[in-house]
């Protein structure tokens, strides 16, 4: 077996050193009833070539984003990732390291996490950020739990235009913690009225911007209303590229910003691994209640700057049942991909990227709005918008596959049974060419 | 101490007399090159990505354009490559040497798995594409689920948990949902051995439970009398790691399962140490109700400096109806994903994440499993146990094993052999760094004083283990011989000397800010 270095002779010699007759002697604590006679009923070992063939056969059954005119978004976006990013994250020293528990031989990971935290804080307009969460949806859930700890309140108001998967993940995380999460009804093209739902028991208001339909919002009035009642504003950003062009949630008054970092460096990967971004104001109470790992600056015994994991007295391995979260493994390698891509972009590149995304979406929106029967629902947007079709969007999406177009996400897939069947959520990015856009508009006209 | 913009102390420090290094003019030391932060090196007007010119379309952002400077420095590609490659060289990694972190299962990460995960048909597909266009992805998830259920002899697996702790949450939420469905919401007490991972009690609390610790017996396993005394009609579950964090198989596990079930509770098994028994023992045969499987441990997906992981969670018949959405089902010739709770067959406790889980880890884990096969997985578990026992046998004369007898996949020592030497477990660990090894897990499990938990895994050769044991023998002897400075000043051969973690926590600096002098100059 190509991954197992011990030879039969090694095994014999080692058993002799241990002082046992056979390997079975090392498994004597296993109750007899649970001992197996032979290997379990699964195929036996396979060569690299055999595995590659099996995987190629399965992979071929999928249509990859690169094979189609691709406009699917709703929380994950097709962007171009520079070649050097994947090369760097495959460096053995990054790829095959563990959580940096021994900082003296983990400065590579720790410094990049410190840089990541700084980038995320600046991008979101917050003071501090953690070293990543699993993804945007779990970051959102953790933010609500944190808001409840910080405010000592037990109600959360969730915008109806928050990605329903995020709302569901948050609801699940809160349901046994005696935190009531009330999701409002969605209002495509506008925004549900959260302000009326805020009261003295409200720990936080959760708003996504741009929202799941693509519409952009000024969060300032909601922040003001939340703060007036002593509640926190949690802003959710599922398309982080938008912050290259748009006002940051921090500038609009958010207290905690969570986001999905997938757009930068990570790739689509059918939903994971992604990278959850988590940033907040620098307040002692906030810091003490943050979930997840934090990299912090310090000095070594010679006075040289170095980085360590810090404030671990919040965490499960120290605080156990009093921890702020049970999170242990996070999304370190995806945070690395994010920070490398962001460093390659820099502010100048990020603004260019964001501009190209917005322009692609504007061009596409105009092209589709010219198709008879199609109506643009979202008057403002970044790189994603919603249109109303004259018929069921899921059926239309399905018929567009044969024409080489993966058209977007039917709202009914996210909000089944809510009467949104004719709405289609469509994303455009820098990866879409004018030919893609023309093809989409032409094909849509044909199938309607 | 003040820092200049090169990230070095502004005053040179001489520590040669302490066994340290000589300072150089550049701050680098040969191949160990000093590397400032991107904020000290890059500029906001530099980019390493070329884009076509924008058309100048009128924005439709509703007047919400960003006007402030974000403060994100950029680097060109050659500069960026150097920055990250230089930093990478300050990391230890499994590809550089033995990484014996107990309970973490740092085994070799086969590169075939990386290649499979990057096939466009898996790496470049969107979670919300039409289901008809991702049938191969569903098939892969179904295939992996089949392997996991077969290896554990369980009828159900939830694929979406994002890591081990997330899998624990999945299992415990299913238990909570099952109790609620039975009308027994009053069962809130969860029994957790004191040797448990910290994630266990933290998870139980997130499900509205509270924890009751079970002490360990003198043999490092659950104290059966104490366990029996704690059973009662308010008990929801036991959370037990098997093999446990002392590296021992819980030999009473079948009896524990019987008793907890008899008392009306459920058995959550922490599967972090599944690598010791995979292919040889099926946890379903032991009577478990739920167990997460760390794909990043047992099935070799890379840890990546702290993640990503993946924590698919298997369930018994009793808990299967409460498993979360989404999940894939075979529908005739094709596959279908059930995404909504009200479309599910059972009574799912909810949805834990957006989308469907860690696909990138699923591809890698399945590639690993198919490569090994049923026979190779069994051999891997046996070699992992053999390697750990070999270390235990070679070192027990000079270090102090925490418990008598053989172990499973990890060897646990305490610090009795360091008594009166002035050397602590921490010092010993730092001296291992100077010898070119990553230290073992320290001070865990909590039931053993000054614990040193060594997990070599199956991907180490005998000669490699011999060199490792020779080194640890020499270190133990040096400690006993009074060579204390070797330990207390360690590490001296690492990229940094010992780092001040207290200072970091007392005055948290979590983001970079420009040095005060720069700010003043700008004003």
Are residues B229 and B355 both part of a single domain?
Answer: yes
pLDDT surpassing 80 at residue A222: yes
- Runs of H (alpha helix) within A31-106: 48-59, 83-89, 92-95
Domain A67-81+347-447 in CATH 3.90.226.10: no
Residue with tokens 């998830």: B141
Distance from CA of B481 to the nearest CA of A (A): 25
Whether B306 sits inside 8 A of A62 (CB atoms) is no
Are residues B394 and B254 both part of a single domain?
Answer: no
Is residue B350 included in any domain, yes or no?
yes
Dihedrals φ, ψ of B291, to 5°? Answer: -155, 130
Range of the domain at B444: 376-506
Whether B48 sits inside 8 A of A344 (CB atoms) is yes
Preferred mutation among A346, A383, A395 to probe B, highest tally of B CBs within 10 A: A346
Strands B235-241 and B266-270: parallel
Distance from chain centroid for Cα B25:
39
Domain boundaries, chain A: 67-81+347-447, 83-340
Are residues B359 and B437 both part of a single domain?
Answer: no
Asked whether A49 and B370 are in contact (CB, 8 A), the reply is: no
Task: Provide, as residue numbers in chain B, all residues whose Cβ is less than 8 Å from the Cβ of A42.
Answer: 147, 150-151, 369, 373-374
Q: Which residues are registered as beta bridge partners of B240?
A: B269
Whether B91 sits inside 8 A of A93 (CB atoms) is yes
Task: Provide, as residue numbers in chain B, all residues whose Cβ is less than 8 Å from the Cβ of A320.
Answer: 198, 201-202, 211
Are residues B245 and B354 both part of a single domain?
Answer: yes
Residue with tokens 């046998």: B393
**Could you give the CA distance from residue B486 to residue B434 in angstroms, rounded to a whole number?**
9
- B357 touching A (Cβ < 8 Å): yes
Are residues B345 and B433 both part of a single domain?
Answer: no
Q: E strand or H helix at A444, and its extent?
A: helix A434-447
How many CB atoms sit inside 10 A of residue B58's CB? 7
**Could you give the CA distance from residue A354 to residue B64 in angstroms, rounded to a whole number?**
14
Distance from CA of A292 to the nearest CA of B (A): 11
Whether A344 sits inside 8 A of B198 (CB atoms) is no
Is residue B295 included in any domain, yes or no?
yes
How many CB atoms sit inside 10 A of residue B229's CB? 10
From B329, B348, B369, give the residue that closes a domain. B369
Axis crossing angle, helix B164-181 with helix B199-206, rounded to the nearest 10: 40
Report the SS3 class of residue B100: coil
Cα-based angle B184, B186, B190 (whole degrees, multiple of 5): 100
Residue with tokens 């936080």: A204
Domain CATH code at residue B300: 3.40.640.10
Q: Which residues contact B87 (CB under 8 A, 6 or more apart)?
A: A107, A108, A111, A112, B35
Task: Provide, as residue numbers in chain A, all residues whose Cβ is less than 8 Å from the Cβ of B427.
Answer: none
Residue with tokens 């021992």: B248
Are residues B502 and B389 both part of a single domain?
Answer: yes
Interface ipTM: 0.98
Question: Which of B75, B205, B393 comes nearest A321 by C-beta?
Answer: B205
Task: State pLDDT tens for residues A40-70.
Answer: 999 999 999 999 999 999 999 999 999 999 9
Asked whether A265 and A342 are in contact (CB, 8 A), the reply is: yes
From B351, B369, B387, give the residue that closes a domain. B369
Distance from chain centroid for Cα A184:
23
Are residues B243 and B333 both part of a single domain?
Answer: yes
Task: Provide, as residue numbers in chain B, all residues whose Cβ is less than 8 Å from the Cβ of A349.
Answer: 47-49, 51, 74
Are residues B411 and B496 both part of a single domain?
Answer: yes
Q: Quick one: B345 exposed, middle or buried, by C-beta within 10 A (0-12, 13-18, 19+)?
A: exposed
Asked whether B394 and B86 are in contact (CB, 8 A), the reply is: no
Report the C-alpha dihedral over residues B122, B127, B132, B133, rounded to 10 degrees. Answer: -40
Predicted confidence at residue B491, as pLDDT, reads: 97
Are residues B350 and B258 both part of a single domain?
Answer: yes
Question: Which candidate, B133, A442, B518, places its Cα nearest to that of B124?
Answer: B133
Domain CATH code at residue B396: 3.90.1150.10
Report the SS3 class of residue A278: strand
Task: Provide, as residue numbers in chain B, all residues whose Cβ is less than 8 Å from the Cβ of A46.
Answer: 370-371, 373
Preferred mutation among A290, A329, A342 to probe B, highest tally of B CBs within 10 A: A329
Distance from CA of A256 to the nearest CA of B (A): 16
Domain A83-340: which CATH number of 3.40.190.170, 3.60.21.10, 3.40.640.10, 3.30.70.20: 3.40.640.10
Is residue B7 included in any domain, yes or no?
no
Asked whether B238 and B191 are in contact (CB, 8 A), the reply is: yes
Task: State pLDDT tens for residues A247-287.
Answer: 999 999 999 999 999 999 999 999 999 999 999 999 999 99
**Could you give the CA distance from residue A415 to residue A185 in angstroms, rounded to a whole number?**
10
Are residues B161 and B227 both part of a single domain?
Answer: yes
How many CB atoms sit inside 10 A of residue B307's CB? 31
Report the SS3 class of residue A318: helix
Whether B128 sits inside 8 A of A75 (CB atoms) is yes
- B242 touching A (Cβ < 8 Å): no
- B22 touching A (Cβ < 8 Å): no
Preferred mutation among B451, B496, B503, B512 to probe A, highest tally of A CBs within 10 A: B496
C-alpha separations of A43 from A50, B293, B476 in Å: 12, 20, 45
Are residues B342 and B408 both part of a single domain?
Answer: no
Predicted confidence at residue B22, as pLDDT, reads: 59
How many CB atoms sit inside 10 A of residue B387's CB? 30
**Could you give the CA distance from residue A163 to residue A414 in angstroms, rounded to a whole number?**
8
Are residues B316 and B406 both part of a single domain?
Answer: no
- Runs of H (alpha helix) within A290-392: 316-319, 332-369
> Tens-of-pLDDT digits for all 523 residues of chain B?
233 333 333 333 444 444 445 578 888 889 999 999 999 999 999 999 999 999 999 999 999 999 999 999 999 999 999 999 999 999 999 999 999 999 999 999 999 999 999 999 999 999 999 999 999 999 999 999 999 999 999 999 999 999 999 999 999 999 999 999 999 999 999 999 999 999 999 999 999 999 999 999 999 999 999 999 999 999 999 999 999 999 999 999 999 999 999 999 999 999 999 999 999 999 999 999 999 999 999 999 999 999 999 999 999 999 999 999 999 999 999 999 999 999 999 999 999 999 999 999 999 999 999 999 999 999 999 999 999 999 999 999 999 999 999 999 999 999 999 999 999 999 999 999 999 999 999 999 999 999 999 999 999 999 999 999 999 999 999 999 999 999 999 999 999 999 999 999 999 999 999 887 554 444 4
Question: Which of B73, B80, B285 comes nearest A340 by C-beta?
Answer: B80
Provide the domain count of chain B: 2
Question: Which candidate, A54, A117, A412, places its Cα nearest to that of A257?
Answer: A117
- Runs of H (alpha helix) within B418-510: 425-434, 462-480, 485-488, 501-506
């Amino acid at each position: 077996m190509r991954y197992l270095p011990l030879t039969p002779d090694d095994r014999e010699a080692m058993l002799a050193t241990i002082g046992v007759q056979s390997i079975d002697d090392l498994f004597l604590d296993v109750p007899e009833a649970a001992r197996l006679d032979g290997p379990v009923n699964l195929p036996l070992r396979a060569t690299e070539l055999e595995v590659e063939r099996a995987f190629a056969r399965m992979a071929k059954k999928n249509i990859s984003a690169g094979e189609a005119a691709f406009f699917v978004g709703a929380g994950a976006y097709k962007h171009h990732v520079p070649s050097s990013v994947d090369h760097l994250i495959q460096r053995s020293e990054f790829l095959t390291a563990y959580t940096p528990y021994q900082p003296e031989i983990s400065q590579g990971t720790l410094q990049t996490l410190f840089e990541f935290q700084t980038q995320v804080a600046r991008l979101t307009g917050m003071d501090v950020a953690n070293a990543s969460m699993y993804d945007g949806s779990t970051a959102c859930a953790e933010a609500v739990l944190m808001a409840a700890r910080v405010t000592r309140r037990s109600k959360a108001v969730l915008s109806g235009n928050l990605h329903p998967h995020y709302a569901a993940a948050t609801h699940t995380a809160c349901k046994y913690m005696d935190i009531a999460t009330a999701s409002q009804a969605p209002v495509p093209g506008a925004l549900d009225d959260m302000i009326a739902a805020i009261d003295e028991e409200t720990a936080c208001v959760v708003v996504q911007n741009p929202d799941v339909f693509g519409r952009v919002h000024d969060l300032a009035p909601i922040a003001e209303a939340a703060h007036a009642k002593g509640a926190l504003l949690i802003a959710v950003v599922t398309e982080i590229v938008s912050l290259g062009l748009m006002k940051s949630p921090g500038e609009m008054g958010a207290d905690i910003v969570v986001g999905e970092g997938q757009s930068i460096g990570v790739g689509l990967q059918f939903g994971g691994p992604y990278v959850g971004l988590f940033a907040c104001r620098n307040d002692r109470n906030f810091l003490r209640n943050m979930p997840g790992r934090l990299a912090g600056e310090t000095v070594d015994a010679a006075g040289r700057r170095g980085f360590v994991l810090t404030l671990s007295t919040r965490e499960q391995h120290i605080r156990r049942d009093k921890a702020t979260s049970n999170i242990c493994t996070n999304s370190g390698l995806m945070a690395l991909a994010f920070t490398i891509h962001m460093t390659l972009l820099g502010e100048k590149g990020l603004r260019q990227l964001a501009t190209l995304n917005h322009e692609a979406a504007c061009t596409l929106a105009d092209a589709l709005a010219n198709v008879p029967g199609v109506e643009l629902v979202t008057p403002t947007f970044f790189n994603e918008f919603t249109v109303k079709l004259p018929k069921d969007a899921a059926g239309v999406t399905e018929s567009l596959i044969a024409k080489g177009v993966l058209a977007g996400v039917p709202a009914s897939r996210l909000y089944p049974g809510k009467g949104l069947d004719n709405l289609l959520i469509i994303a455009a990015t820098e990866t879409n060419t004018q030919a893609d856009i023309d093809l989409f508009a032409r094909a849509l006209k044909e199938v309607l | 101490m003040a820092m200049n913009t090169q990230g070095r102390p502004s005053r040179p420090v001489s520590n040669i007399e302490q066994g340290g290094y000589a300072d150089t003019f550049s701050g680098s030391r040969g191949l160990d090159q000093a590397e400032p932060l991107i904020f000290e090196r890059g500029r906001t007007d530099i980019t390493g990505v070329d884009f076509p010119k924008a058309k100048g379309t009128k924005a439709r952002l509703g007047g919400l354009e960003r006007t402030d400077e974000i403060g994100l420095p950029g680097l060109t590609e050659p500069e960026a490559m150097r920055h990250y490659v230089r930093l990478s060289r300050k990391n230890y990694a499994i590809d550089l040497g033995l990484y014996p972190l107990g309970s973490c299962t740092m085994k070799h990460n086969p590169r075939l798995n990386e290649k499979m995960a990057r096939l466009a048909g898996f790496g470049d597909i969107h979670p919300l594409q039409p289901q008809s266009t991702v049938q191969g992805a569903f098939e892969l998830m179904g295939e992996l689920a089949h392997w996991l259920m077969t290896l554990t002899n369980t009828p159900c697996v939830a694929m979406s948990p994002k890591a081990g702790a997330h899998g624990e949450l999945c299992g415990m939420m299913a238990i909570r949902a099952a109790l609620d469905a039975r009308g027994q919401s009053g069962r809130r007490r969860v029994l957790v051995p004191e040797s448990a991972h910290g994630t266990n009690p933290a998870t139980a609390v997130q499900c509205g439970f509270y924890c009751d610790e079970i002490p360990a017996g003198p043999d490092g396993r659950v104290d059966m009398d104490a366990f029996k005394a704690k059973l009662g009609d308010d008990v929801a579950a036991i959370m037990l790691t098997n093999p446990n964090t002392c590296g021992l198989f819980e030999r009473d596990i079948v009896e524990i399962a019987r008793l907890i079930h008899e008392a009306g509770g459920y058995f959550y098994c922490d599967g972090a140490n599944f690598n010791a028994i995979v292919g040889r023992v099926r946890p379903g045969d032991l009577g478990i109700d739920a167990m997460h499987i760390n794909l990043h441990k047992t099935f070799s997906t890379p840890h990546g400096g702290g993640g990503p992981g993946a924590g698919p969670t298997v369930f018994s018949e009793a808990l299967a109806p409460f498993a979360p959405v989404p999940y894939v089902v075979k529908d005739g010739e094709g596959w279908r994903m059930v995404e909504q709770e009200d479309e599910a067959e059972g009574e799912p406790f909810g949805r834990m994440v957006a989308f469907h889980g860690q696909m990138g880890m699923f591809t890698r884990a399945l590639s690993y499993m198919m490569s090994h096969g049923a026979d190779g997985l069994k051999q891997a578990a046996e070699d992992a146990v053999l390697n750990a026992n070999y270390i235990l046998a070679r070192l027990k004369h000079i270090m102090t094993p925490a418990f008598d007898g053989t172990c499973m996949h990890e060897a646990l020592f305490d610090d009795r052999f360091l008594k009166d030497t002035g050397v602590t477990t921490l010092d010993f660990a730092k001296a291992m760094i100077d010898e070119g090894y990553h230290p073992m897990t320290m001070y865990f499990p909590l039931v053993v004083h000054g614990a040193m938990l060594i997990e070599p895994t199956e991907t180490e050769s005998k000669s490699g283990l011999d060199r490792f044991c020779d080194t640890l023998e020499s270190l133990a002897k040096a400690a006993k011989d009074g060579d204390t400075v070797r330990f207390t000043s360690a590490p001296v051969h690492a990229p940094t000397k010992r780092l001040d973690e207290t200072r970091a926590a007392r005055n948290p600096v979590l983001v970079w800010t420009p040095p005060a002098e720069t700010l003043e100059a700008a004003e």
